[in-house]
Chains A and B, each alone.
Chain A
C-alpha cells in the first residue's frame, strides 16, 4: 500500500467521504494517518462534525484498535509563508509581502505555483520522521481536486517548468514530482455507477496514465443494494405477471393490493432499467483493469457512524 493516497473523483461522487473513510480504514490497528484537504472547503470538518480546521495538524478521530486520524486543511497562503520562513527566515518581511499582495500573487495567480505548495506540504508529511527515525504518519490521504483537474494538479512539474525554470520553486517541484510519480503514491478515483461519472473516471485514468502518474484503485461509491434477483427481474418484464402479484400481495396482508400492484411493478421496471445501466457501467469500469471497490449507499444519509461503516467495509475489501 502506497504511503501517499490521493483521492479524486467527479463532483458529487463523495470523494471527501471516501478519503475520510480510507484514512480511518488505514489507521486501524494502531496506525496513524493524516487526512489532508487542499481546496479550502472545510469538507473534512463537516464530515467529522467538528469546528473548522486551522492550518495545523490535529487529531480528529480514533480508529478501531487504537489508531489515530489527524487532519490538516492546507491553506496555500500560509503554506507559502511557512515555506518562506523555512528557507529564508523572512519574519516581518513575509507580512509585508502579504500586504502588497505578493502572496496572493504567488498562490492564486500562477496555479502551478499554488499546486506545488499544496502537494509539497503533503509530500513533506509523507517523508517526515520523528527522532527515532520512524515515519510521523503511516499514511497520508489527500482529498484532492476533482477528476477533471487532478492530472494538472499533480503534474506540477510540467506546469511549473514553463514558469519557473530555475530557483527554489523549480527545485521544490522536482522533489514533489519524484514522490508523486513513485510507488509511494497511488491516485484513486471515486465514481458512481452512472454514465457521466464513469466516463469522466475512464478519461481521468487515461490522462493520469499518459502523465505517468500512478493510478491506484477505482472506488465505486453509493452502490445501491440489489433488491431484486435475476429471476425476479426477468419476471417484471412479463406483463402477465400482475394478477399473480395482486394475489401474492393480498396473501401477504396488503390491503388494496389491486391498486398497489401497478405502481409497485412500475418501480420495479425503473429498478430494472437502472440495474441494466449499472451493469453496463460496471463492465466499462472493469475494462480499465484496476482494482475495483464498492461502497454501499447509506440510506439514512451520511453521518459519523456511517463513516466508520464505510471504513470497515474498506477493511473488509482488503484495504
Chain B
C-alpha cells in the first residue's frame, strides 16, 4: 500500500483565490488550531490579501507574536509583516462577554441596556453559558464579514469539549432563547390560544412553582425580566443564529479540520468531517500538524537497535579491557579489539543516535498507521502535513515558517 494515497491539500491557491472569504479552522483541543489559523492569516497577508484573524483563546506568547495581547475585542493591525505584495494582517482576540454586551448596547436604548447588563441572569449567561463562546464567535464572524473591510477572515474555533459544539451551540442558544419554556415564562396566555390556556396555566403554575422551589423565586424573576427585556429589544435570536449558520454554508467559506497524527485527535477529525458533510459545510481539507519524519528513513528501527547493541558490547569489552589491562588478549570474535581502540564516548554517542533513530522510526510508523486508518475512512479528504517542530512558536518568523510548511506539506515530494 502506498503511504500517500490522498489528494494533496494545496493551501496557496485556497488563500490566493479572491472568492475565498472565510477560512474556519476547527478540530479538538491541543492540536495547534490557533497557531494554524495565525500562520494561514500571515501567509495570506504576505501574499497580498487583506486579512483579519479571529482567535479565541490564544496562548500568551502566540498573541504577543502578533501584538494582540491586549484584550479589547477589536482587530489590531499586525506590524512588521512583509507587505511587499500589498497585503495587511489584522488580528483580534474574542472577548465573549464584551461581544454580548455590544449586541445589547447596539440594539437597546440606554436605559433598557443598563437593565439587561445588570441582570444577574444575563451576567451568568454572557460569561459562562456552555454555548456562549461559540455563539459569540459566530456573532463576531458575522460582524466582521458585514463590515466588508477585509477580503479574508480566518477564524479559530473555541476549545470546546468536543469539536462539534461549535456547530451545535448557536442553534442551542438560539432555540433556548426562542424556546417553549422562555415563551411560557414570558407570556403564558400568548402561546396556547383560548383552548390551550387552561392547561397551560396549570402547567405553568406547577412549573414555575417547582422551578421556584428549586432555584429560588428570585432567580426565576430574574429570568423572566431578562427574557422580556431581551425579547422586546431584539427578538429572534434564532434568526441571527440561522443567518450565521447560512454564512458558513455559503460559497466562499472553507473549513479546515486541524488534527495531530494521534488516535483521539484523528477520531475527532473524522467525526468532524462527517458532520460537516451532513451539514453541507464546505470542507477544504485536513491539516495534520506535528508529523514526524526522518532523514534517515531507510535505516529501520530494528537494524538501528541491533547496531546500537553491537556498539554497547564493544564498549563493554573496551572498558573491561582497559580496567584489567589485558589488551594483548582480545576477546574472540570482537572486531573492536582487533582495530585501534576507539573513543568510548563516541561509541556511546553513536549508540544513542541509533536508539534515538529507532524511537523516531517507531513514532513515524505509529503516526502512519493512525493516518492510514483515517484515509481508509475518508479517502476524499485532501491533506497537508506540517512537520513537528522541536519548540513552540514565539514570533512572526516562526509563524511564517509554519505557513511555509502548510503550503509545502500538501505535496508529498516536499515533505521530509
A: residues with CB less than 8 A from B are: 10-13, 39-41, 84, 88, 90, 93, 96-97, 100-102, 104-106, 108-114, 145-146, 148, 152, 159, 162-170, 194-197, 199-200, 224-225, 227-229, 231-232, 235-236, 241, 244-245, 247-249, 251-254, 256, 260, 262-268, 270-271, 273-274, 277, 299-302
Give the residues in chain B near A167, CB-CB below 8 Å: 212-217, 219
Which of B76-84, B348-356, B403-411 is found at the contact surface with chain A? Answer: B348-356
B294 contacts A112, C-beta separation under 8 Å: no
Task: Give Cα distance in the complex from A12 to B308, angstroms.
Answer: 33
Give the residues in chain A near B31, CB-CB below 8 Å: 12
Give the residues in chain B near A256, CB-CB below 8 Å: 298
Of residues 120 through 134 on chain B, the ones whose CB sits less than 8 Å from some CB of chain A are: 120-121, 123-125, 128-131
Contact with A along B340-379 (1 / 0, CB 8 A): 0011011111111111110110110010001000000000
Of residues 292 through 307 on chain B, the ones whose CB sits less than 8 Å from some CB of chain A are: 294-296, 298-299, 303-304, 306-307
Which residue of chain B is the closest to A167 with respect to CB atoms?
B216
* CB < 8 Å neighbour of B214 from A13, A169, A266: A169
Give the residues in chain A near B206, CB-CB below 8 Å: 93, 96
Which residue of chain B is the closest to A247 with respect to CB atoms?
B342
A194 contacts B348, C-beta separation under 8 Å: no
A236 contacts B349, C-beta separation under 8 Å: yes
B207 contacts A102, C-beta separation under 8 Å: yes
Task: Give Cα distance in the complex from A170 to B355, angstroms.
Answer: 59
Between-chain CB contacts (< 8 Å), 17 pairs = A106-B215, A110-B124, A112-B124, A146-B29, A163-B121, A167-B219, A195-B61, A197-B30, A200-B59, A229-B352, A231-B345, A236-B349, A251-B342, A264-B354, A266-B295, A299-B359, A299-B363
The reply to whether the CB of B13 lies closer than 8 angstroms to some CB of chain A is no
* CB < 8 Å neighbour of A232 from B307, B335, B345: B345
Task: Give Cα distance in the complex from A241 to B390, angstroms.
Answer: 22
Q: How many A-B residue pairs have CB under 8 A?
A: 233
The reply to whether the CB of B314 lies closer than 8 angstroms to some CB of chain A is yes
* CB < 8 Å neighbour of A245 from B265, B294, B304, B350: B350
**Given contact pairs A165-B218, A251-B339, A39 touches B124 in the complex (Cβ within 8 A):** no
B30 contacts A268, C-beta separation under 8 Å: no
Of residues 54 through 98 on chain B, the ones whose CB sits less than 8 Å from some CB of chain A are: 57, 59-61
Which residue of chain B is the closest to A107 with respect to CB atoms?
B130
B: residues with CB less than 8 A from A are: 28-31, 57, 59-61, 120-121, 123-125, 128-131, 159, 161-162, 172, 176, 179-181, 184, 203, 206-207, 210-219, 222, 260, 263, 265, 294-296, 298-299, 303-304, 306-308, 310-311, 314, 335-336, 339, 342-343, 345-357, 359-360, 362-363, 366, 370, 390-392
Give the residues in chain A near B184, CB-CB below 8 Å: 100
* CB < 8 Å neighbour of B345 from A112, A235, A300: A235
A268 contacts B356, C-beta separation under 8 Å: yes
B75 CB to nearest chain A CB (Å): 23
* CB < 8 Å neighbour of A199 from B59, B125, B346, B352: B59
**Given contact pairs A195-B61, A267-B294, A299-B362, A228 touches B176 in the complex (Cβ within 8 A):** no
Give the residues in chain B near A108, CB-CB below 8 Å: 129-131, 172, 176
B39 CB to nearest chain A CB (Å): 15
B296 contacts A267, C-beta separation under 8 Å: yes
Task: Give Cα distance in the complex from A96 to B210, angstroms.
Answer: 11
B59 contacts A196, C-beta separation under 8 Å: yes
B215 contacts A169, C-beta separation under 8 Å: yes
**Given contact pairs A10-B30, A251-B335, A254-B307, A163 touches B214 in the complex (Cβ within 8 A):** no
**Given contact pairs A162-B123, A163-B120, A101 touches B342 in the complex (Cβ within 8 A):** no
**Given contact pairs A273-B390, A274-B391, A245 touches B295 in the complex (Cβ within 8 A):** no
* CB < 8 Å neighbour of B352 from A152, A159, A268: A268
